[in-house]
Amino acid sequence: MKKEPVKKETDKKTDKNTDNQTQSKRSAVPHILWGLLLISAVAAEVAARMVPGFATWYTRNIYRVLVATWGGLVGLLPWSFAEFSILSMIMGLFVYALYNLGMVIKKERKFTLGVTSWFALLARFLVTCFVIFVFGCGINYYSVTFAESAGYDGKGCTEAELRSAIIYMVDQVNANVDQISFDEKGASIAPKGYMKDCIVAMQGVADNYGVTSSYVPQAKPLLFSRFFSIQLVSGIYLPTIEANFNREQTGEELGFTVCHEMSHLSGYMQEEEANMISYLACSGSDSAYLRYSGAMLALTYLTNAYKGKDESELLKQLDPRATQDMYCTWEHWEQFKKPVATVGDHEIVVSEIHTQINNAYLKANGDEDGVKSYGVMVNLLVEHLRKEGKLNVMLIED
């Protein structure tokens, strides 16, 4: 009797091994691609910090193209794409964890494999965030500043110049307050169509100074504005190339905040220069509301920097409606400064924690002044008013 050949069984084993090898190679491809993305982002970040001129070249030639294409696309959405993406990723991680847990309970997957696959997904999530951060704003931190582009030195100013600047801003507020609407508490109200006015105002800065982008996507209201309110955040630029603003803030700040966040869309990431660009946009606008908002916020920064004993006397010249508006803004933010918990003798205030984190973040990205940079715009502002001949020369000389 002849024996049956065993070749078919051998062939089956060979085919199975071949399939396993092919599947293994295919599964390695995504890991390689994620690795290349991470390497390219790290290389770009290092180049921005170490190679002179690279960051400026990227901001003006690559980033602004991204703003005009991707930024314009997500700008059509009425809500923040970044908020939606982050929420989706977090929910995805949670659902995938439940899925793996179910597979382990059913004994269809080993516990170690489930944990490993979940952390692999988390790693991809973190790599994605890092890559988007680098190409969406990280490189821009090392680009040429607005002050350098516009010819400002920002070296400082005297107390007399500060005093003159305050008087000028008080006059600007008073000149526009009659055209502002207020609610029953005395808080100013942003008019309908203010977003279009902000876009036109930002385009005006591009026309007058030639160093900002002439194309500006609209800013987006944050869905979870309360989350940002308890951190005292009025607006935030997210590296999905979106300007976002807190919809809970008062009308006094809203116009200035929107223009501030839009300033980042031109590649200027330092906070003092975004403040300065915002002021230039507001003060040069045809909208009385934006001129009022810009002057009010500039006045706040100036008075915070002024050390003269006559500050209260200077502010007495402010229209009572504007004074009440300032109080409403102060009252609005004051409610979020209350401690949320007490650990021992220490009260935990969310806004203070956020300030420390933001300070560390800004310094890590080359902004030596950290959160103090928000107020550094005073030097740029006074220099601008000096160049424009808006300061009272006789007062300064006296």
> Do 126 and 189 fall into the same domain?
no
* 77-120 tens-digit pLDDT: 988 999 999 899 999 989 988 888 888 888 878 888 878 888 88
Residue 370's pLDDT is 47
Same domain, 269 and 375: yes
Grade residue 20 by pLDDT with cuts at 50, 70 and 90: very low
Q: Which of 90, 116, 142 is the last residue of a domain?
A: 142
Do 154 and 137 share a domain, yes or no?
no
In the listed set 116, 142, 168, which residue is the last one of a domain according to the structure?
142
Q: Is the pLDDT of residue 14 over 80?
A: no
- If asked whether residues 99 and 174 sit together in one domain, one would say no
Which pLDDT does position 271 carry in this prediction? Answer: 86
pLDDT interval class at 23 (50, 70, 90): very low
Is residue 284 located within the same domain as residue 153? yes
pLDDT for 311-336, tens place per residue? 888 889 999 999 999 999 999 998 88
pLDDT category, 19, cuts 50, 70, 90? very low
Number of domains into which the chain is organized:
2
- Of 123, 142, 161, the residue at which a domain comes to its end is 142
Q: Identify whether residues 183 and 134 lie together within a single domain.
A: no
Question: 207 and 117, same structural domain?
Answer: no
Q: Are 203 and 116 part of one and the same domain?
A: no
DSSP-derived secondary structure for 58-106: HIIIIIHHHIIIIIHHHTTSSS-HHHHHHHHHHHHHHHHHHHHHHHHHT
Burial of 173: CB neighbours in 10 Å, binned 0-12, 13-18, 19+: buried
What percentage of the chain reaches a pLDDT higher than 90?
51
The predicted structure's pLDDT at residue 239: 92
28 and 134 part of one domain: yes
134 and 151 in a single domain? The answer is no
- Residue 227 in domain: yes
- Burial code (b: 16+ CB inside 10 Å, e: under 16) for 31-45 equals eeebeeebeebeebb
**Residue 2 resides in a domain:** no
Contact by Cβ (8 Å): 147, 273: yes
pLDDT value, residue 121: 86
User: Has residue 277 been placed in a domain?
Assistant: yes
- What pLDDT is recorded for position 287? 96
In a domain, 11, yes or no: no
User: What is residue 167's predicted lDDT score, i.e. its pLDDT?
Assistant: 94
pLDDT at 159 over 90: no
pLDDT (tens digit, 9 = 90+) per residue, 351-389?
Answer: 455 455 545 545 555 556 544 544 578 889 999 999 889
* Averaged pLDDT, 248-255: 95
Regarding whether 172 and 128 lie in a shared domain, the answer is no
**224-229 contacts at long range (C-beta below 8 A, 24 or more positions apart):** 224/83, 229/336
Query: Does residue 10 fall inside a structural domain?
Result: no
The whole-number pLDDT of residue 394 equals 59
Position 15 in a domain: no
In a domain, 87, yes or no: yes
Q: Tell me what pLDDT residue 168 has.
A: 95
The lowest-confidence range among 156-170, 183-197, 278-292 is 156-170
Domain, as residue range, for 29: 20-142
Clarify whether residues 190 and 85 are in a common domain: no
Residue 348's pLDDT is 46
- Asked whether residue 6 is domain-assigned, the answer is no
